[in-house]
Amino acid sequence: MILADFLVEQWLNPMDSKAEHNFGTSCVKALTMDELFRVTEQDENAFLKDLSTMSLHYHHGDSTGSPRVKKAVAGLYPKADVDPKHVMMVHGGTGANDIVIMGLLEKGDNIVVIKPTYQQHYDIPKSMGIETRIVQLKEEEEYLLNMKELSKAVDGNTKLIALSNPNNPTGATLYEDGLQELVEIARSVDAYILCDEIYRGMDETYMPSILDFGYDKAISVSSLSKMFSMAGTRIGWIVTKDEYAYKNFENRRSYNTICCGIIDEIVGAIAMENYKKVWARARSILAPNKQMVYDWVKTQPHLSLHGDAKGTTCLIRYDYDITSTDMAVDAMEKARILLCHGACFDEEPAFRLGYGGFTDRNQLQESLDALSDYLKTLE
């Protein structure tokens, strides 16, 4: 079956470098190498010295990831008793989602997808001919998962429940109670859970993972792209305690990855070993920016914003007479403002606004002013 166009990636990737006002990105402003060493307080010279004598052979023993990087990933789940053997390094969050979905689903299964979400979660299974059931997050419920609807959607053939938590695009987040309930629903039909936790880490206090609830069929995927601000490393991972799933993922990964970049794994390990410092930097960018965006929306008579975003983006609805796709193209053409149209998430009329790309508050204000001016042209 044909794989649908991956709308968000096809729109944003070519536009990213052309935008003057970039609300498209869902990443936190990327670190430079130099900044990584400053933020983590590690010795850059020692790292460079080690690199210069390093063999550039594939992997150095364990193709699923170096012992160092797998241990660093395990450290991101302090309440889940994760062992490095449960960790598999892959090519980004995209690689992780792809491997989990392709590695688990087979004819006769269904997948239940919590939507809106990253398009991989529903269009890869659809392309495989898998029955894909949707549970829709609703504005009037602050985009929080309706457990009754989820219970109704699953049955004995549900192999996988997929979600992003914190959610992309709305930022809505399930905490302990919600995740526990989700686990119980999955357990009732013996389903796996694919929880894409790539935006986890924005709170000052601990943010739970799907792995924290003692359910072996829980699968956490994530990467260095968002809260770690290192998307160019293309380092992602899958964590599960389920041996059957792990074996399937390992096999699929042999077909499309073999192993991750060995230099990227070292850089990633440095960031993850010091994740509290790296996440604190991300938070120092995200928290004030989010506040500015929420305040700005209140000044806009044609916009509305629901839910409390705990990621890097929020979903903004509007009442102008224009489709979200036309609006995104027009805003880029007329004012070099990059928005991500709601159509990328089947959300209409709406756009996703990313606020992680601005380290300078004045620049964010200028960009919001430019967006206000652009929106006036739609009245």
Ligand X SMILES: Cc1ncc(COP(=O)(O)O)c(C=O)c1O
Q: How far apart are CA 358 and CA 224, in angstroms?
A: 18
User: CB-wise, 198 or 266, nearer to ligand X?
Assistant: 198
Minimum CB distance to ligand X, residue 92 (Å): 3
The answer to whether the CB of 135 falls within 8 A of the CB of 146 is yes
Minimum CB distance to ligand X, residue 96 (Å): 7
Q: How far apart are CA 264 and CA 237, in angstroms?
A: 13
Q: How far apart are CA 253 and CA 103, in angstroms?
A: 9
Q: How far apart are CA 123 and CA 136, in angstroms?
A: 15
Q: How far apart are CA 276 and CA 40, in angstroms?
A: 9
User: CB-wise, 236 or 307, nearer to ligand X?
Assistant: 236
User: CB-wise, 225 or 335, nearer to ligand X?
Assistant: 225
Q: Which tokens in the block code for residue 196?
A: 């894409």
User: CB-wise, 97 or 173, nearer to ligand X?
Assistant: 97
Minimum CB distance to ligand X, residue 188 (Å): 26
Minimum CB distance to ligand X, residue 249 (Å): 16
Q: How far apart are CA 283 and CA 205, in angstroms?
A: 11
Cα dist. 159→127, 246, 251 in Å? 16, 15, 19
User: CB-wise, 125 or 335, nearer to ligand X?
Assistant: 125
- Classified as helix, coil or strand, 126 is helix
Minimum CB distance to ligand X, residue 198 (Å): 5
Minimum CB distance to ligand X, residue 7 (Å): 12
Minimum CB distance to ligand X, residue 199 (Å): 7
Number of H-type helices and E-type strands within the chain = 13, 13
Minimum CB distance to ligand X, residue 376 (Å): 30
**Within 10 Å of residue 19's Cβ, how many Cβ atoms?**
20
Contact residues for ligand X, defined by CB under 6 A: 26, 92-94, 97, 118, 164, 168, 196, 198, 223, 225, 231, 236
Chain-centroid distance, C-alpha 132: 20
User: CB-wise, 249 or 374, nearer to ligand X?
Assistant: 249
Q: Are strands 313-318 and 350-354 parallel, antiparallel or unpaired?
A: antiparallel
User: CB-wise, 26 or 220, nearer to ligand X?
Assistant: 26
User: CB-wise, 208 or 268, nearer to ligand X?
Assistant: 268
State which residue has the least CB distance to ligand X.
92
The answer to whether the CB of 327 falls within 8 A of the CB of 338 is no
**Cα distance from N-terminal residue to C-terminal residue, the chain:** 42
Q: How far apart are CA 73 and CA 82, in angstroms?
A: 9
Residue showing tokens 């498209």: 24
